[in-house]
């Protein structure tokens, strides 16, 4: 479906700034976030061709070092922007909420944060996450194009269902997107699926239905278990959830050490359809009695599926009581499990987090 952008009313888009390369400046000790959200908006005046735009700071973190409290603070800022409780008026309350929200973020964990926002929120306006591979001061920076793209998408009510990532003229679903290349401008990709939409200078084309990628109710929604919890307090409720990798010669030690350290849960990145070595399979059998164990697959596309027997096969793991991550990669499975445990979800609630709607 092709649709040019049009409309009489000028939408308002709120930028929630979190740092990253898009906000970084060079330094003798290496580049680091330094620009504010207002700086970004001022540096890319073309965004005003599509909406009235204002900005709010949440943090100035590199994508490589985003903390749980940063993530919860971002989710709170996104909800506040949608509700009109955003600190832009003298009393901190606006008469109306934003028509769309853009989150600027470092690319290293951008896909993790986008998916976490999909788990935590379910808002009536578009939430678009973007960043850049090259700083504004670098030749051929992608920051202006990506920020403009994000504002365009945020101003379009067709993208209100679910969180999306805007990058290199494409819009991706938060559940599906990954960072696929360390430095290519087209780094954001959705293996096994397609972008939700593509954009040209004059319009956009929806390739598949925009949809929230989580079957469970939002954990930080108005009635969710994390609703109204201060970001710092919420962060303290997140337990340690390590990712254990299976592969040639992988033994039981990594899981045994994790359990001895008192972790809250385990994500195991299996091979193929979600299989592990016999040594890991035997240890998982013991682990499921004390912590939730989620099994993801190593391939960048395709779901986990119980097909193979043997001590480490997914059929055997299913009998042990693991939860399969479906088509979620291990990194996002870790986010989902950690947030589910922070929200005190029971076993059924955690399993629902991994169901595709």
Amino acid 93: pLDDT: 45
357 residues of the chain, pLDDT tens digit each = 334 344 568 999 999 999 999 999 999 999 999 999 999 999 999 999 999 999 999 999 999 999 999 999 999 999 999 999 865 444 444 558 999 999 999 999 999 999 999 999 999 999 999 999 999 999 999 999 999 999 999 999 999 999 999 999 999 999 999 999 999 999 999 998 999 999 999 899 999 999 999 999 999 988 889 988 999 999 999 999 999 999 999 999 999 999 999 999 999 999 999 999 999 999 999 999 999 999 999 999 999 999 999 999 999 999 999 999 999 999 999 999 999 999 999 999 999 999 999
Rounded to the nearest angstrom, the gap between the alpha carbon of residue 285 and the centroid of all alpha carbons in its chain is: 30
Distance CA(51)–CA(10), nearest Å, equals 6
Closest C-alpha among 77, 63, 57 to residue 117:
77
- pLDDT tens string 295-323: 999 999 999 999 999 999 999 999 999 99
- The residues pairing with 104 across neighbouring beta strands, listed in sequence order, are 17, 130
Residue 273, classed as helix, strand or coil, is coil
- Domain spans in the chain, listed from the N-terminal domain onward: 2-206, 238-353
- The residues pairing with 63 across neighbouring beta strands, listed in sequence order, are none
- The residues pairing with 33 across neighbouring beta strands, listed in sequence order, are 24
Q: DSSP string of 6-70?
A: --SS--EEEEEEEESGGGEE--TT--EE---HHHHHHH-GGGGGTSEEEEEEEEEE-GGG--HHH
The catalytically annotated residue of 107, 130, 187, 189 is: 107
| Percent helix / strand / coil, the chain, rounded to 5 | 30, 20, 50
Q: 10 Å Cβ neighbour count for 31?
A: 14
Closest C-alpha among 55, 59, 89 to residue 73:
59
Amino acid 2: pLDDT: 39
Which class would CATH give 2-206? alpha beta
- The residues pairing with 14 across neighbouring beta strands, listed in sequence order, are 54, 101
- Say whether 310 is catalytic: no
Amino acid 240: pLDDT: 98
Q: 10 Å Cβ neighbour count for 194?
A: 14
Pairing mode, strands 243-245 and 266-270: parallel
Query: H helices within the chain, ranges in order?
Result: 37-43, 68-83, 110-120, 143-154, 231-236, 253-260, 278-287, 314-320, 330-342, 347-353
Amino acid 87: pLDDT: 53
Is the separation of the CB atoms in 166 and 128 below 8 Å?
A: yes
Amino acid 86: pLDDT: 64
Residues 195-210 as b/e (b if ≥16 CB within 10 A, e otherwise) read bbbebeeeebebeeeb
User: How many Cα atoms sit within 13 Å of 269 on the Cβ side?
Assistant: 17
DSSP 268: E
Residues 6 or more apart from 108 whose CB is under 8 A from it?
62, 63, 64, 179
Closest C-alpha among 301, 325, 62 to residue 189:
301
| pTM, rounded to two decimals | 0.94
Domains 2-206 and 238-353 share a fold: yes
CATH dotted code for 238-353: 3.40.50.40
Amino acid 90: pLDDT: 44
């Amino acid at each position: 479906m092709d649709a040019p952008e049009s409309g009489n009313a000028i939408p308002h888009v709120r930028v929630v700034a979190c740092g990253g390369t898009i906000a970084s400046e060079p330094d003798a000790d290496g580049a680091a976030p330094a620009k504010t959200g207002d700086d970004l908006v001022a540096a890319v005046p073309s965004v005003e061709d599509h909406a009235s735009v204002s900005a709010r700071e949440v943090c100035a973190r590199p994508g490589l070092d985003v903390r749980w409290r940063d993530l919860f603070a971002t989710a709170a800022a996104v909800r506040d922007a949608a509700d009109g409780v955003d600190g832009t008026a003298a009393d901190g309350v606006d008469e109306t909420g934003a028509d769309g929200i853009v989150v600027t973020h470092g690319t290293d964990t951008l896909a993790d944060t986008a998916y976490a926002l999909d788990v935590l929120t379910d808002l009536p306006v578009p939430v678009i996450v973007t960043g850049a591979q090259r700083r504004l001061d670098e030749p051929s920076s992608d920051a202006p194009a990506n920020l403009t793209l994000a504002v365009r998408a945020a101003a379009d009510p067709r993208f209100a269902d679910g969180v999306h990532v805007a990058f290199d003229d494409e819009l991706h679903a938060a559940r599906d997107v990954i960072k696929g290349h360390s430095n290519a401008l087209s780094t954001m990709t959705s293996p096994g699926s397609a972008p939700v939409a593509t954009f040209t200078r004059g319009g956009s084309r929806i390739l598949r239905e925009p949809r929230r990628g989580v079957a469970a109710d939002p954990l930080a929604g108005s009635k969710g278990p994390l609703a109204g919890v201060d970001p710092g307090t919420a962060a303290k409720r997140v337990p340690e959830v390590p990712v254990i990798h299976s592969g040639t010669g992988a033994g039981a030690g990594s899981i045994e050490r994790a359990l001895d350290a008192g972790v809250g849960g385990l994500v195991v990145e299996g091979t193929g359809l979600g299989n592990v070595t016999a040594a890991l399979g035997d240890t998982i059998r013991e682990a499921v009695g004390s912590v939730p164990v989620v099994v993801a697959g190593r391939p960048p596309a395709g779901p986990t599926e119980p097909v193979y027997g043997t001590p480490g096969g997914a059929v055997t793991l299913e009998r042990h009581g693991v939860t399969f991550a479906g088509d979620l990669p291990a990194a996002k499975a870790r986010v989902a499990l950690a947030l589910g445990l922070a929200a005190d979800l029971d076993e059924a609630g955690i399993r629902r987090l991994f169901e595709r709607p």
